């Protein structure tokens, strides 16, 4: 395995100039690269990866099928594999899935963490004019994997930093992701071409936001799907079995209700779900060491489970939303902390003023588009050309993006225009079209859970998301009414019945 510390010993500390030892080091590294072997892909590789994926990850059939189809193409056509970019929410198992592929292939594996890299030199090396110059992470990956065609995992592509002074990291990535350029990859320290095109580059990202189009274009793009409830249950049960198999304690069993609760509360992130199972065993072991009663060998104790799953502290974004005209509680997901939040949509409409719009609250481009759609839908409903002076504020000191607040924005504006408050204790989520249809959104289970934790007794969700809700035992939704709507008219019926009543009374008078 390549030891990068030898490179640093090759520098003259007084002026950073090259020494004869530098040349020897370069020759040694070049010889190591030349000696690397290309390990052919075979049918056995295909079968081994298939077995490994089925063992390591529940469900995800489409992703698995796609990965196996790429391996089949590599074997049959003897072609270099195309880079695979797997996009999905944090904690959903993207990296572990790709690690399972890399390990089972047996061609050598290396992982390069891209988060925070702010210069191309980190990947493609420094030239010898720099003090303490060394080879970059790409060449190190080949040396450490001891193969010319390893699987190289490039983790967290969307968190790459940008430094024009040190050269853009994304430019260095293109040198390996573009097949033609990769055939003549040059590390700045070695200054000689190396064929880096035979490696299979497996990339992960939480989102496509901020990733340059040229990189996306050169990758085989796949989106990590949401696990079903039953798949999450199987993951949870497997984590429990793993801890039981390695524990010195007697087998600890969890009831079906306890497992369902763990999946419902923590299953939005597989990483969090596994971490919570680990915490359950840690809490159990701590109680044994402290001499407390635990009913060892039986069902996981009720009091410990309650301690494990109860909310330890309020969300840092907890905010009491008033039930007043112009205000609507919108359910959202804070990706940075993998948590749900209730966003207050605050609106004011001054009808007698000329049309203008003011939006505050760190709003992203997509959410701004949702606001524009909501305003257009509202003018169609009211059959007017313009609303007047419109002010929208969405507090909380976080960046807000996405289209799932579209329905809540519309209802808040309609409430402000009519001066009728929305029905009490009703949280809202759903995207809008100009025709007034409600489109499905992501994270619906997390959003319902957030509504419950914040004391809401009703929640509006898109009809197309209701199948996801039906996967879960309905006992988990005790205390909240889940209302599925497919149009703005249905949403108004459930949130502004007083407005609907006034409209009917006017029509009857006419």
Same domain for 242 and 121: no
> Could you give the maximum distance between any two Cα atoms of the chain, in Å?
99
Same domain for 212 and 174: yes
Sign of CA dihedral 386, 391, 396, 397: positive
Same domain for 426 and 283: no
Q: What is the pLDDT of residues 107-165, one digit of tens each?
A: 999 999 998 887 788 898 877 767 777 888 999 999 999 889 999 999 999 888 655 44
Same domain for 246 and 177: no
**Last residue of one domain, picked from the residues 223, 256, 286:** 223
Q: What is the CA radius of gyration of the chain?
A: 28
- Long-range CB contacts (within 8 A, 24+) of 20-23: 22/128
Q: How far apart are CA 191 and CA 329, in angstroms?
A: 59
Task: Flag whether 456 is in a domain.
Answer: yes
Q: Are strands 389-393 and 356-360 parallel, antiparallel or unpaired?
A: parallel
CATH at residue 348: 3.30.230.10
What b/e string do you get for 406-440 counting C-beta neighbours within 10 Å, with b at 16 or more? bbbbbbbbbbbbbebbbbebbbbbbbbeeebbbbb
What b/e string do you get for 211-239 counting C-beta neighbours within 10 Å, with b at 16 or more? beeebeebbeebebebbebebbbebbbeb
Task: Flag whether 188 is in a domain.
Answer: yes
Q: How far apart are CA 349 and CA 379, in angstroms?
A: 12
CATH at residue 126: 3.40.50.300
Same domain for 305 and 334: no
Other CB atoms within a 10 A radius of the CB of residue 200 amount to 24
Same domain for 350 and 302: no
Domain coverage including residue 301: 229-309
Residue 210, helix vs strand vs coil: coil
Task: Flag whether 412 is in a domain.
Answer: yes
Same domain for 173 and 45: yes
Half-sphere exposure of 213 (CA within 13 A, CB side): 0
Q: Which residues, including other chains, have CB under 8 Å from residue 122's CB and lie 6 or more apart?
A: 136, 137, 169, 172
pTM above 0.95, yes or no: no
What is the H or E stretch that residue 463 is in? none
In the chain, % helix, strand, coil (3-state, to 5) comes to 45, 15, 40
Closest CA to 330 of 347, 310, 313: 347
pLDDT in single tens digits along all 510 residues of the chain: 444 434 433 343 334 344 434 577 788 888 888 888 888 888 888 999 999 998 888 888 889 999 999 999 888 887 778 999 999 888 888 999 999 999 999 899 999 999 888 778 889 887 776 777 788 899 999 999 988 999 999 999 988 865 544 457 888 899 999 999 999 999 888 888 999 999 999 999 988 888 889 999 999 999 988 888 998 999 999 999 998 888 777 778 899 999 999 999 898 888 889 999 999 999 888 888 887 766 555 788 888 888 888 865 545 555 568 889 999 999 998 776 667 889 999 999 999 888 999 999 989 899 999 999 999 999 999 988 888 999 999 987 778 888 999 999 999 999 999 999 999 999 999 999 999 999 999 889 999 999 998 899 999 999 999 999 999 999 999 999 999 999 999 999 999 988 866 655 554 444
Q: What percent of the chain has pLDDT over 90?
A: 50
Strands (E), 250-407: 327-334, 339-350, 356-360, 389-393
Task: Flag whether 421 is in a domain.
Answer: yes
Q: How many residues does this entry show for the chain?
A: 510
Same domain for 362 and 382: yes
**Last residue of one domain, picked from the residues 193, 208, 223:** 223
The number of folded domains in the chain is: 3
Task: Flag whether 203 is in a domain.
Answer: yes
Q: Apex CA 426: angle with CA 425 and CA 430, to 5°? A: 160
Sign of CA dihedral 17, 20, 25, 27: positive
Same domain for 482 and 340: yes
Q: Which residues, including other chains, have CB under 8 Å from residue 258's CB and lie 6 or more apart?
A: 299, 300, 305
Task: Flag whether 317 is in a domain.
Answer: no
Residue 113, helix vs strand vs coil: strand
Give the residues across from 481 on adjacent strands.
458
Q: Are 486 and 437 in contact (CB under 8 A)?
A: yes
Same domain for 211 and 104: yes
Sign of CA dihedral 467, 469, 473, 474: negative
Task: Flag whether 315 is in a domain.
Answer: no
Same domain for 474 and 333: yes
Same domain for 208 and 72: yes
DSSP one-letter code for 487: B
Q: What is the pLDDT of residues 394-448, one digit of tens each?
A: 987 778 888 999 999 999 999 999 999 999 999 999 999 999 999 999 889 999 9
Closest CA to 296 of 251, 232, 244, 340: 251
**Last residue of one domain, picked from the residues 252, 280, 309:** 309
Task: Flag whether 314 is in a domain.
Answer: no
């Amino acid at each position: 395995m390549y030891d990068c510390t030898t490179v640093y010993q090759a520098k003259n500390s007084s002026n950073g100039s090259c020494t004869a030892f530098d040349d020897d080091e370069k020759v040694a590294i070049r010889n190591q690269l030349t000696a690397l072997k290309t390990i052919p892909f075979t049918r056995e590789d295909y079968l081994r990866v298939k077995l490994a994926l089925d063992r390591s990850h529940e469900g995800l059939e489409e992703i698995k099928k796609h990965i196996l189809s790429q391996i089949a193409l590599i074997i049959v056509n003897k072609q270099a594999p195309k880079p695979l970019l797997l996009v999905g929410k944090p904690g959903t198992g993207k990296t572990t899935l790709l690690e399972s592929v890399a390990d089972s292939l047996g061609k050598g594996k290396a992982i390069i963490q891209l988060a925070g890299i702010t210069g191309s030199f980190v990947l493609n090396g420094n030239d010898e004019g720099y003090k303490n110059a060394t080879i970059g992470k790409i060449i190190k990956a080949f040396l450490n994997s001891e193969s010319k065609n390893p699987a190289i995992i490039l983790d967290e592509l969307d968190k790459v930093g940008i430094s024009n002074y040190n050269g853009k990291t994304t430019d260095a990535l293109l040198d390996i992701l573009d097949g033609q350029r990769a055939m003549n990859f040059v590390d700045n320290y070695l200054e000689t071409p190396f064929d880096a095109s035979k490696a299979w580059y497996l990339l992960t990202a939480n989102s496509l936001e901020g990733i340059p189009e040229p990189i996306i274009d050169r990758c085989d793009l796949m989106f990590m799907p949401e696990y079903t409830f039953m798949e999450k249950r199987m993951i949870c049960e497997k984590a429990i079995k793993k801890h039981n198999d390695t524990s010195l304690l007697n087998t600890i069993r969890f009831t079906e209700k306890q497992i369902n609760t763990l999946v419902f509360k923590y299953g939005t992130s597989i990483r969090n779900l596994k971490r919570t199972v680990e915490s359950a065993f840690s809490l159990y072991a701590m109680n044994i060491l402290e001499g407390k009663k635990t009913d060892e060998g039986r069902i996981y104790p009720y009091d410990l489970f309650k301690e494990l799953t109860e909310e330890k502290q309020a969300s840092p974004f907890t905010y009491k939303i008033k039930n007043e005209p112009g205000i609507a509680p919108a359910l959202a997901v804070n990706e940075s902390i993998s948590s749900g939040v209730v966003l207050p949509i605050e609106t004011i409409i001054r009808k007698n003023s000329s049309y203008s719009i003011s939006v505050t609250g760190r709003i992203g481009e997509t959410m701004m588009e949702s606001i524009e759609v909501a305003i257009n839908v509202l003018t169609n409903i009211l059959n007017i050309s313009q609303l007047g002076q419109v002010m929208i504020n969405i507090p909380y000191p976080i960046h807000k993006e996405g289209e799932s607040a579209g329905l809540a924005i519309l209802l808040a504006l309609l409430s402000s225009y009519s001066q009728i408050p929305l029905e009490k204790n009703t949280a809202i989520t759903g995207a809008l079209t100009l025709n007034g249809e409600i489109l499905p959104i992501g994270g619906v289970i997390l959003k319902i859970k957030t509504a419950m934790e914040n004391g809401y007794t009703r929640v509006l969700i898109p009809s197309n998301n209701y199948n996801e809700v039906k996967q879960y035992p309905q006992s988990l939704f005790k205390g909240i009414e889940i209302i599925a709507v497919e149009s703005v008219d249905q949403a108004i019926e459930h949130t502004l019945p007083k407005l609907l009543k006034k409209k009917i009374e006017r029509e009857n008078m006419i």
